[in-house]
Amino acid sequence: MVLFLLVIGGIPAWFFNKWLLKTIRPRESFGRFLLYIAASLTVAFAYTWLVVFILLKFIWPLNK
């Protein structure tokens, strides 16, 4: 169940990354590349925090 939720949760992140690549276009310059890396790390941190929060708040308390 948890693995299923993680896979399903990864789909919006994949689409967001595709959108980010089209918007920032990191291959054009080093500055854009650094901006893409910073945005990707920020989104990865926020998305990981959100997924862990949802799992701890709603999924694991049901197993007790």
pLDDT in tens, 15-54: 999 999 999 999 999 999 999 999 999 999 999 898 888 8
**Alpha carbons 12 and 32: distance in angstroms, whole number:** 23
At 45 the pLDDT is: 95
Structure tokens at 32: 């854009």
Tell me the pLDDT band of 55, cut-offs 50, 70 and 90: confident
Angle, vertex CA 11, rays to CA 7 and CA 15, nearest 5: 160
Tell me the pLDDT band of 64, cut-offs 50, 70 and 90: low
Determine the straight-line distance between the first and last CA of the chain, rounded to whole angstroms. Answer: 16
- Global pTM? 0.76
